[in-house]
Amino acid sequence: MKIVENLEKSTKLKGYLTPSFQKRWQRFAFIEQMANVGMEVFRTIKAKSKQDEKSAELAFKRAMELFDLTLQDPKNEKKFGEVVRARESFVDFFKHGIQCGQSAESINNYFYNFNYLARIGV
């Protein structure tokens, strides 16, 4: 949980990181949280593919905030490793591109599964 502790110390409360949003976020099931993270990941990848760096950076920051909120949610303790790996893969792709072994397609496919499950209500 050291990542979460460091985040809390270094992050200014704004955007998704307001206390009221954190409480609402924790009401979502894990699948719904990851589906929402996935939407920001999709937006990031789409903006990056269009070479819209400003929009890509904003979506990237929103995705990181949602990843961090998911990591802070106590009910997700058993899924901590999965979320950290997904976050790491996304950061590597965004900052370094496909050279780190991740493609936009593989990242989209990972999050698509959460969107599908959330949509059918699992």
Element (H, E) at 89: helix 80-96
pLDDT at 81 over 80: yes
pLDDT of residue 99: 57
Give first-to-last CA distance, the chain, whole Å: 28
Which tokens in the block code for residue 7?
Answer: 């985040």
Say how far apart CA 62 and CA 104 lie, in whole Å: 18
pTM of the model: 0.82
Give the start-to-end residue ranges of the domains of the chain.
24-120
Say how far apart CA 5 and CA 53 lie, in whole Å: 29
Q: Is 22 exposed, middle or buried (0-12, 13-18, 19+ CB in 10 A)?
A: middle
What confidence category does residue 58 fall into, taking pLDDT thresholds of 50, 70 and 90? very high
What confidence category does residue 24 fall into, taking pLDDT thresholds of 50, 70 and 90? very high
Q: Of 76, 108, 69, whose CA–CA distance to 90 is shortest?
A: 108
pLDDT of residue 4: 45
pLDDT at 82 over 80: yes
